[in-house]
A and B are shown apart, each in its own frame.
Chain A
Amino acid sequence: MAAMPTAKTPSKPAPDLYKKLGAAKLLKIHELMVRARLLEERLIKMSKGGDGFFWIGGPGEEAFNVPLGLQVKKGHGVNFDFLHLHYRSAAIVMSMGAKPIDALRQMRSVATDPYSKGRNFVNHYAIPELNVVPVSPTIETQYATAIGTGIAQARAKTDSVTIVNGGDAGTAEGDFHSCLVWANRPALPLPILIIVVNNGWGISTAAKTQHGEEHIADWTKVFPGMPGKTINGNDVVESWAALEEAFAYVRKNRKPYLLEARCSRLYGHSSSSGANRIPEADCIELLEKNMVSRGLGKAADFKKAWDKEAADLDAAHRQVKAEPFPANESVWEDVFADGLPPSYPTKGGS
């Protein structure tokens, strides 16, 4: 994929940015990217092999999502960053410390699935200790809920921010525009990092056939006080730098920033489109190439990461296959926070 032009401020990867980040940091990023990629490929395999059902995820977005996850101010409560994610966010939560085995549990819909007790699709995280609010299959509703945590953080004396992440096709929905309007409300601007990962597709429909905007980040032109940028999200260092700039702006100014990252979609939309490998630019290959050419990494180091992560996934997968499915009666747990009233109808009819 060619580097994307920017919406407002031209941004080119600094030639020395790889060296500035350094070998150790880049190797850590590489390791997390590999972990997320292999996890997604394992999930696809499980879906196709009858070890789970529908797959949807984000392989191809690792170069943007890992730097994002690593720059989050992690923790619980209003003094830490909130994340309103969508179903392509595995690399973000893995970078924040989530365990791949829990995603396998959700894919197999076993009782030990910590995110939904076997109730929801894979990659639908809910992690209160990391302020990752429940991911929903509804497209773009996360942009509306982001308003609320943004308000809470705007009221508090904190540098924490809200991060909302979604796809390009969903920006046609009103919730995306709700977020732009509320975040730029003169009465109370909101510290929200508004992210759109643009892979150019909405399932099978090309964005260019439905969207007249040249760049999604051009919505900044409507709100003169809101900066924004379009970047090549397949490039780790460009992503890192853009996120660093955007986070710094929102943390300091308590106002929104719109960041559009152009990324590959390496396995199509989901199971619904076959989940087969698509010949688009692979950000991990790109990172390895750029590290090798600068003397910041060796093929052997990379292979070690690939082998270790694959072995860890094998072990995790074996463990998950031995875990029980949820009991039927567990459906009555969590309907209400204070428990099910004794006379609540539970028979499903007469």
Chain B
Amino acid sequence: MSINSIVEELKKNISAFEKQVEVEEVGTVLEVGDGIARLSGLSKCQANEMLEFPGGTFGVALNLEEETVGAVLLGEFKHIKEGDTVKRTGRILSVPVGDQMIGRVVNPLGQFIDGGAETKAKQFYPIEKIAPGVMSRQPVSQPVQTGIKAIDAMIPIGRGQRELIIGDRQTGKTAIAIDAIINQKGQDMICVYVAIGQKESKVARIVAKLKESGAMDYTIVVVAGASAPAALSYIAPYSGVAMAEYFMDQGKDVLCVYDDLSKQAWAYREISLLLRRPPGREAYPGDVFYLHSRLLERACRRNKEAGGGSITALPIIETQASDVTAYIPTNVISITDGQIFLETDLFFRGIRPALNVGISVSRVGGAAQTKPMKKVAGKLKLAMAQFRELEAFSQFSSDLDPETRKQIDLGQRLVEVLKQPQFKPMAVANQVAIIYAVQNGFANHVAPKEMVTWEGKFHDFMNKSKSAVLEKITAGTWDETVETELKEAITEFNKI
């Protein structure tokens, strides 16, 4: 019975099938090499259109010239030779988007590279899109909790903000971004981690860490490895943000990490030079500013009328020998809403995360801080600034007046408290409690070196016995009663 019905169904399908003559527009390869191809024909080709080369390799048309089309190849190109036929696909370069992407590792074309099950995408988003305009935006009002004390207190990040993480190699830039992703558990955020030109081993380690901490349940990892063609590195952040835009269109909040944009700029420089675009400063093409501005402008907080949702961007830039006046760092600093500076000498002095709090800023994040955090952080910034000025005198401790002595002591303890190991994000309430305790002299009896152990015990005590106060702080209430309760709790802890 069932076989008959299948046959019937099949027959119906076949009879309903109409034969069509397939019309394809084609061109020919004039020259190919170094990941780019020059093509003739293709007179109606669109900018950024996908082109199909023989052997299933795709390319993107970047240069549309009078006689020829310049295209970058997205993948293997050894088998492509002069005279080969190239087909137009009629599709602007786009990537699959949707919930099925969550928890997966994909390449910049949206193909799964983690060996997991293939799922068909229902929707595609073009990777290049104009960012939301003025009328559909609103200022940041909700915080992104990174779980890092120094950042959440002094350089707060709001949902929809663009905060640059900048520093030399080996200063913990990726560590901050990964910690921020791990801390989004239960915060109703989707994360997109875009690895551009990274070692595959490093990406594998990051993915393993994210899995271990349960962060892969809400994270998409887009990888253009160090061995991938420059074209893939170039499009990787755009495909990452396209996947993020899908979730923003659902009214969700998304955190996008681009690790790192200097490598993307290198890839773009390579492509541009091969396509014979005129080089400018540091041999980057003239539109390298637009390369990053159009990407980061897509991070936004949309208002209710426009559908809500937000994309927070954490671009990463690697500097050479702390030179922030190079071309790409200055560009990206000027585009973003603030920057987190990481420094090598702080890193080696054991201050990790190696934040230079003096020159790191967040231009808009303050509006998104919770009330308790705002209250304690205001004093913290001041105390740290005073400490930096007096730090040089700390060696002459015996000759100092008591007031200066006090400030230096406080500063040293605060520096200790702001240290935080990797993969140990902390809840806001705990951050507020510890900073409050140190600031108000409740830790004066503890030597700076002992601070770490003291802090550990303090959090244990607070989490176990005083969770009621912490809950109030988490809820964002801060008044005299909460403050008194917190004070009492700390005094009680000190008595033990």
Whether chains A and B associate is no
Residues of B bordering A, CB below 8 Å: none
